[in-house]
Amino acid sequence: MNVLVTGAAGYIGSHAVRMLLDAGHQVTAIDNLSRGHWQAVDRRATFCRLDLAQTDELAEVLARSRTDCVMHFAALAYVGESVAEPLLYYHNNTAGTISLLRAMTAAGVMRMVFSSTCATYGQPEQTPIVETAPQHPINPYGWSKRFIEQILSDFAIAQPQFAFVALRYFNVAGAAADGTLGEDHRPETHLIPLVLQTALGLREAVTVFGVDYPTADGTCIRDYIHVEDLCTAHLLAMECLRPGEARFYNLGIGRGYSVREVIESARRVTGRDIAVRYGARRPGDPAVLYADATKINRELGWKPQYTELDAIVESAWRWHSSHPDGYL
């Protein structure tokens, strides 16, 4: 298939581009490079530096590349930043997706796999979280994605040829098996990279945000899903798209690990000491988040290959230890 990937220079998009190419698809990779790294984009893809707001240019690229399906990863994804600058998030993520849908309509492209997030659930009433759980986001980032889900649903009703799958990610982690692609956020806010950068001596210590949660060891529990397992799900989702399909799937491994367990795992994997400080809770962090991913398993046959935390951390370590400065 001809696939256009937005956010192709980002952490997840860059892994998806490579996996699509390896599976024999033709890939057009677009990114505005505001946060992504051009070095992460596989050279076999056709790269265009474009912003989602450039509707006409997007339509032209979609038509020229004879795109069959769009994989839409492009988004700003810092919760704290979204609270400080909500308009930036609604503009880039939500309005950007409207622009992309207009471009797709103009070019006659009617299939999309959309990167959504478990942040659309907010503080869950129950775990594991199922797709039918109430969606009450607690920050503009979560709302920006929740709105997109609604827009996609409405658009699918108005345009019976349109089909989409929205994948609600839990905590994406790890790196390409060969260690040549990985996570490089600036600033970095995610736990596993921060812990591994501490192991490398790039940071003095990692701060645990809260030890008084109602969990076994007092720290937050999250569902860490490997980036390659996540990308595999996108390929499966793309293949199931038929006119009129509107599907939502949770993507996690279905079990959670605590912050302390992540740090212990990193100590085992790296064989290094990792200094820890204990700090206050981070506002807006639910105690426990993990997915019920049985729906995607049942309907698309998706199963994670990485189910053990050490294996996920080990793959992230391969990237961080060989690229301490990230993409240069």
Our measurement of the distance from residue 57's CA atom to the centroid of its chain's CA atoms, rounded to an integer in Å, reads: 25
Q: Which is nearer to ligand UDP, 92 or 117 (CB)?
A: 117
Minimum Å gap between C-beta 216 and ligand UDP is 14
Question: How many residues are recorded in the chain?
Answer: 328
Residue at shortest CB range from ligand UDP: 220
Contacts to ligand UDP by CB under 6 A: 171, 189-191, 194, 206-209, 220, 222, 259, 282, 285
Per DSSP, the residues of 244-309 read T-EEEEEES-S--EEHHHHHHHHHHHH-S---EEEEPPPTT--SB--B--HHHHHHH----S--SH
141 carries an active-site annotation: yes
55-64 and 96-107 helices, crossing angle to 10°: 40
Minimum Å gap between C-beta 79 and ligand UDP is 6
Tokens, residue 87: 């308009």
Q: Which is nearer to ligand UDP, 171 or 270 (CB)?
A: 171
Strands (DSSP E) along 161-253, which ranges? 163-169, 171-173, 206-209, 221-222, 224-226, 246-251
Minimum Å gap between C-beta 208 and ligand UDP is 5
Q: Which is nearer to ligand UDP, 191 or 300 (CB)?
A: 191
Residue 164 DSSP SS3: strand
Q: Which is nearer to ligand UDP, 70 or 259 (CB)?
A: 259
- Active-site entry in 11, 89, 141, 249: 141
Minimum Å gap between C-beta 69 and ligand UDP is 27
Residues labelled catalytic: 141
